[in-house]
Structure 1
Amino acid sequence: MRIAYSPCPNDTFVFHAWAHGRVAGAPPLDVTFADIDLTNGMAERGEFDVLKVSYAVLPWVLDEYALLPCGGALGRGCGPLVLTRDPGDGNGDGSGGDGNGDGGRARAAGLAGKTVAVPSERSTAYLLFRLWAADLVPGGVGEVVVLPFHEIMPAVRDGKVDAGLVIHEARFTYQRYGLHRLADLGEYWEGTTGLPIPLGAIIARRSLGTARLRELAEAARASVRAAWDDPVASRPYVLEHAQEMDPAVADQHIGLYVNEFTADLGEDGYAAVRGLLTRAAAEGLVPPLGPDALDFP
């Protein structure tokens, strides 16, 4: 089974057991590691059997792929951040704001016409950013530059871009680059909707058939549970592939992004996904979903 997911700690933690033959009865995996911008493109081209992608790309791929109800990344307090180099754009202590209220609006307005680095134009982070900017950045931002996520903070620090949209373990490391948090898009999303934040989805090719899709979902769920049962087993695999090699940061990353929604989307998870994509479609940012597009066989 050809699968592509990122080298980030949450993905390697989730898939370690399955990738290493520790999930009984699960099909063997042929793993390709790729950043989210690449996996989104792979999904649009139909290149793999199973992929970790942004929820934002689903409207373009759900004709060919089914959303698995487990293995992905949703949660609360785990949203993307907008970072700047100038402390005047955020809070001097690096704690930042959520983009709401008069102070948040004033800081957000400062991005008008500015250059912003993002990890992918199809990413959920960028979709949340566009919804936030439409509310709070008069006239919109200027140029948007796509960079691999691990290059974004250095680009902001070095003045190559005015701001950066960051994901993953950057939440825990941005102050090391002397950067400041302008907005937490998770706080913005949760504050305006009350829903958890849908970030990364696991999808599988529909042509595999219903029985195989259900088998893959059970394998993903079993791999998550195996990781929770024996977290030490996955540690070498996680650290081998992590962009940030500090074990403490990897642990923070896993603790934030691997949660009850990873084991099962559940009612709240599906509501969050549908809420994000419905709102984005209403703004003309993504194609509208069909009524059964998110249903799992």
Structure 2
Amino acid sequence: MSSDKVHVEHCKGVNGLDKVILRESRHCSAEVYLYGGQVTSWKNALGEELLFLSSKATFRPPRTIRGGIPICFPQVGNIGSLERHGFARNRIWSVDPDPPPCSSNISQKAFVDLILRSSEEDMKIWPHRYECRLQVALGPTGDLMLTSRIRNTNTDGKPFTFRFAYQTYLFVTDISEVRVEGLETLDYLDNLMNRERFTEQEDAITFESEVDKVYLSTPTKIAILDHDRNRTFELRKDGLPDAVVWNPWDKKAKAMADFGDDEYTKMLCVEAACVEEPITLKPGEEWKGRQEISAVPSSYCSEQLDP
């Protein structure tokens, strides 16, 4: 196979951390670090970056990488006794030697299967045995697809309960010119108001201050319109009923050591998640969740949106 046909490349990234680069024939690409099982880059056929990664992101374990798509498991936010967003995002994952049969398009060549298993260290803080599998794939047109499978491998007969989210940092031109469609009229939990429950009153979500909301029972498709760039991100999800929308705005941005003071203007987190009702698995049971993102011209997408 000639070098320009290499779809999956294993190499070293920042600070010598192992990473995998996925490439599709149209020159779309994605970059996945084994540290955190984290996608840190997703580029379209023009080489434009579609994910936000902070200029101050540290690639130094055990600090998490600020940006891309961190995996939140087995906890989302501070709901539970673990560190915020759980521990999967600051563990070293492995390339899965025995992945499940690929359910994606048979012609898809740019993908990697990763696995994270419970360690003795993890058992001390979360006393359950599990297998967490993640497939990151690029579709033939450059869509970014993440599929997760979590299995209870406890031998003591005990079930376990978890929450999950793909904390997706989208790169936008100007947050004040961004609109989110598909969440109007839905109930949400406002994390800035002690998780109080409200109903969304706006026709579309726009941004002029800090936001940290968990939208409940959301549709399978959400659209994020970046007006300045005439681009729409279309997020499709399965097995993840909730959607988190987050932007720290100026004060919290300045308080984060790994986040530039003005970088909040260039990012928006829209996360396929399971937050309100946690998932419970008995030993041997498996859960599957999926998120797919595409980036298309806004004029094309607005006509395709579900009513």
TM-score of the aligned structures, taking structure 2 as reference length: 0.29
Larger strand fraction of residues: 2
Larger helix fraction of residues: 1
